Structure 1
């Protein structure tokens, strides 16, 4: 039988080993932060999310981040449109609180956000690429951005001065943004941690890819989603939706999309829809391939400069996107393809490799999580919450039981709406349908029986108790968030 002294020695050794394996960060050893975000790069086009476009299309470098870090299985946007989502990511606030509800809104330059808090915590902060929040960036020691959507080819970039554009002849936005970001990383000081925000324009319409990929996927016929053909939108949907036929008109009218116009082989509507879909996917994936290539360049830079173990790398998109599902393209709607956000994060020795995170995470949670890793508490102004514990100790907590969504813009095809989602069901209310009866403003989806949301069963559901419960969730969310306005 081992002696008491021996047992104590072994116990001390075990504790020291556990502490070493945890590699705890001290205040002076906080990780660098590299937050990479694209535009509309939906999870259907990420290999690590089981892309239906494999094996022709692959994302090895994005998949590497997922393999060496964590992947969020249930990450959602609170308002699926570019400008509002970016504002919510930075501020940790819902749209009605940060004041950025629609594409026309600007982020108040005086509003304190994530970058300001990181500066106060001693981080060197930088922003490169697509800002899209109208106002001049604040909170960044260095910024070099495009205005609005900018251009794919030879983008006009503004380095610290919105009045002085710079153009690099022959450049392509994704490649150029990476070059600018790495140039800043190479000149920063080594005595402070950095927080780099690298925002790509890709994969936003009109999907203009670099010349090197003009022949990529030629001859490939990509799988169609089950809901591509037939009616547009879910059965019994309350809205007209945003069908591929709108994209067909755009593609036929000009060569902006992918650099060449669509020439349908037949006038048959179903043939035109299928050919539009195939061109959409080819052009889109050529842009997505370029993103993955550049993430590979960035990871190689971190490896070469011994920064990989010291840097938290996040890659995400500002929202999801329809790639032919329901015969839709674009985003905005509270359906899964639109509101789901892909998200991977890697931080060696802190986030276990290959983690899959199941609790529901929101884009308003990103800022609190990053501040948590920077050693800072979540500011009282932020409505999100850190999910660091989910990344480091998956399976330990159940998380939210429901989430709230609100899309504020209003038009006949894409009316304003809000709703609530649980793990098993979704309830949507179209407040923008002002001329419809109250009953015709609701949609309900059973996510267990119908995960692809092929039919709205609000009128036919026999579970009155569940419906009351969902409406209670919705009222509770709106009350707790102070979102009581009916205006859109």
Structure 2
């Protein structure tokens, strides 16, 4: 009996001992998983604006909803005040990649207005160095070959603008012409990499950047006639007369009068070739070249151009939304959703007939505000909305911080990881500095710098004019009334100029106006007469001018 009892006790202890060990191992596995580096998918559409995303509301939300993009917001955090430091494609991308303003990364203007210095540090290089698998698909648009990616396939025609149909891609150094629609193709390449090429035992960081909905707004065939039978609504500021802003907003080449034959989808004559072909296609983009069907009045033609434009633009967005849905579905089906950070953004905002405009460039809200949302189930509470001031130079340090990657690289941007987790630091920025340099190409928008707080926008347009503008965003959110000369705002102007002065010093861009004009002139040359004084911006901002 004693022997039997001894065997029984030993057996019981052995049983529980074996049981305890797997439990301990399971606990350790859970702990390891908790600190597992996340995968990151950074999605950026070109010229996508908040007005075109139904999660942000607006006049198109019921006509042209974006359910897949909205899903990222619904399951993550939607940002209302993410702002672009230089609202133009290439310079914004450079700021995002480097975490620095144009004056430090050296890329002030688009193609033909400089070139991105590919030898400098970018955040994908840091991910690659720290064991991440890295890939890039779609649009690059920096005039260089990407660095920091194990695999890349980017648009490499039309100055890296790319084409919507049958585009040429640079695939790891070799040009390849593909057949099909660019938005679908770029996603196909990304999905193929996710499914077949990436290693399953290491985290990945994938950059997926669409050409759409950039000009010339060519929809997929199945969406060409999507809204043919309806009249799209008009923005409240569609008939802006630019009173009080005649030399700035009122002196551009991005109004409804500047759409080309190509933009308006006129059928091209078959016999045209070379320069004649280009001349015919781009007729309408210059002053006095108004494109519209015969017999229309000026007002009818203006509305017709808007209707053509907005339907094509939103149809391009429709394809972007479809393809984002493909990516989200893949993550769900393959158990990757919980540990994958999804970022959805654009290089800046865009005008959809607001103020009678298309394009971007201005410090005004529609082009300044970037759509931005982040989904990361492990860290971000679903359905949250944030209204803190964040800029595109903050993206790089934040992504690195989320991946627990330490870097010695100096960046002007700051991580907002704690904001994503629901905690805004007490010392977080309350204002941002903006600077746009390109003139007169393209669209004839005056170079300007300024400050944007949550309540005010103050801007100085300086190339060959000297115009200040102030907007009270609480009383005038559509920015129709320049109140710079209103006496009741005099002290506010003084305070904003002082704050702007400090921001320009902080970001190492407190040059003279002559220096800023030289940046504009570089590559293009001096196109128009301008003042040539050496006035210090710092003196201007302290009213010593």
Residue 500 of structure 2 is matched in structure 1 by 474
- The superposition leaves residues 183-221 of structure 1 with CA deviations (integer Å, 9 ceiling, x where unpaired) of 111221112100000000000010011111122111121
Residue 183 of structure 2 is matched in structure 1 by 174
Identify the match of residue 428 of structure 1 among 456, 459, 475. Answer: 459
Q: How far off is 1:274 after superposition? A: 1.2
SS in 1 for 2:116: coil
Question: 8 Å contact 2:84–2:434 — kept in the other structure?
Answer: yes
Q: How far off is 1:236 after superposition? A: 3.0
Residue 245 of structure 1 is matched in structure 2 by 257
441-450 or 235-244, which moves further after superposition?
A: 235-244
1:381-460 to structure 2, matched below 5 A, reads 381-394=410-423, 397=426, 399-411=428-440, 413-433=444-464, 436=465, 438=466, 441-460=467-486
Cα RMSD between the aligned structures? Answer: 2.1
Find the aligned partners of 1:307 and 1:167 in 2 and give their Cα distance.
Answer: 32
Residue 195 of structure 1 is matched in structure 2 by 205
TM-score, normalised via structure 1 length: 0.89
TM-score, normalised via structure 2 length: 0.80
* CA shift in 2, pair 1:28/1:143, >3 Å: farther
Find the aligned partners of 1:185 and 1:251 in 2 and give their Cα distance.
Answer: 35
Residue 276 of structure 1 is matched in structure 2 by 305
List gaps (5 residues or longer) in structure 2. Answer: 1-26, 269-280, 282-289, 521-545
* CA shift in 2, pair 1:80/1:461, >3 Å: farther
Question: 8 Å contact 1:333–1:407 — kept in the other structure?
Answer: yes
395-404 or 126-135, which moves further after superposition?
A: 395-404
Question: 8 Å contact 2:418–2:424 — kept in the other structure?
Answer: no
1:48-127 to structure 2, matched below 5 A, reads 48-103=55-110, 104-127=113-136
Q: How far off is 1:56 after superposition? A: 1.6
- The superposition leaves residues 138-185 of structure 1 with CA deviations (integer Å, 9 ceiling, x where unpaired) of 111111111210100011011111xx321222x100000000011111
Identify the match of residue 340 of structure 1 among 369, 378, 401. Answer: 369
Identify the match of residue 168 of structure 2 among 144, 147, 156. Answer: 156
1:187-266 to structure 2, matched below 5 A, reads 187-231=197-241, 233=242, 235-239=244-248, 240-241=251-252, 242-247=254-259, 251=263, 254-255=266-267, 263-264=292-293, 266=295
SS in 2 for 1:468: helix
Length, aligned pairs only: 455
Find the aligned partners of 1:320 and 1:375 in 2 and give their Cα distance.
Answer: 30
- The superposition leaves residues 238-277 of structure 1 with CA deviations (integer Å, 9 ceiling, x where unpaired) of 32132111126664584589xxx97437432221111111
Q: How far off is 1:24 after superposition? A: 7.8
Question: 8 Å contact 1:27–1:375 — kept in the other structure?
Answer: no
Question: 8 Å contact 2:339–2:378 — kept in the other structure?
Answer: no
Residue 13 of structure 1 is matched in structure 2 by none
Q: How far off is 1:431 after superposition? A: 1.8
* CA shift in 2, pair 1:263/1:124, >3 Å: same
- The superposition leaves residues 326-364 of structure 1 with CA deviations (integer Å, 9 ceiling, x where unpaired) of 111100011000110001110112100011011011000
Question: 8 Å contact 1:124–1:192 — kept in the other structure?
Answer: yes
List gaps (5 residues or longer) in structure 1. Answer: 1-19
Residue 358 of structure 1 is matched in structure 2 by 387
Which one has a bigger Cα radius of gyration? 2
Question: 8 Å contact 1:321–1:337 — kept in the other structure?
Answer: yes
